[in-house]
Amino acid sequence: MSWNVLTVGARRVLAFRYVDRQAGPSAKGAYLADVQPTPEEAQEAATRPAVTVRLAPAFTLVPLSDAEVQRLGLPARPQWAQLLEQPGPWGADPRLAGKLHASYPDDLQAAFFLPEQRTVEQLWVRLAQVVPEHDAYRGRLLNTAHGAPSLCAGTEVVVRPTPGSAMPVWLSPAVLGNLRDWRGKCSACGFDLVVEPVEALIKREFRSAPPGTVFEALTTRCAMCRGTQLLTRQPRSNESP
């Protein structure tokens, strides 16, 4: 990240190049009245930048030398850039190390299990909020699922870093219901989510069970690795754990 001069339309701009946490590679600064920046223009760019450019290959940036930066009294990194670059709390989550986009640190790919379509899709999500009760994050989709048009760009979703999965997993309404009523863990990979309603799974896999049977524990195939996943019913609020 550095100070540069670039041309926007017919005007020259003194701007600091940085990575905006949502908009990606960007530059922000002040217009120049002449070829060379003045100390006054440098002060404006460093403290009151009025010009923002989303960088693309069409822009040619001419970096200032260290001597020029020093002459103009420019800070190595302006305070406003630090605020714009700083990722949300997910940036400090060790479970997401290496999973956040290098140029868009609020964005990541998540696994979307679609049981009815018998498929898993990888979609981009822009994180916006922590969901403490599920140790998860809320965000919005940046693209649309091929197999589920209702999961379209702009849809609000909740994703969670999950044992056994290389990427965070979508907590669908069915998954959220399961988390409320059941605990699960795969003996092979540790995956702890059931991606379809457990009651529907019981009806399909235990057809011979007498009507009214209440299951307190059962095993099924892990959706992630096809290993054995043990499910145990969560204690009710009026029961002892």
DSSP state letters, 42-101: HHHHHHS--EEEE--TT---EEPPHHHHHHHT--SS-HHHHHHH---GGGG-GGGTTTB-
How does residue 1 score in pLDDT terms, banded at 50, 70 and 90?
A: confident
Q: Is residue 126 within 8 Å of 139, Cβ to Cβ?
A: yes
Q: Rounded CA gap, 27 and 18, in Å?
A: 6
Summarize pLDDT for 31-44 with one digit per residue, the tens: 999 989 999 999 99
> What's the token pair of residue 148?
């589920």
Pairing of strands 228-233, 182-186: antiparallel
Summarize pLDDT for 56-111 with one digit per residue, the tens: 888 889 999 999 999 999 999 999 988 787 778 998 999 999 999 988 889 999 99
Q: What is the DSSP letter of 241?
A: -
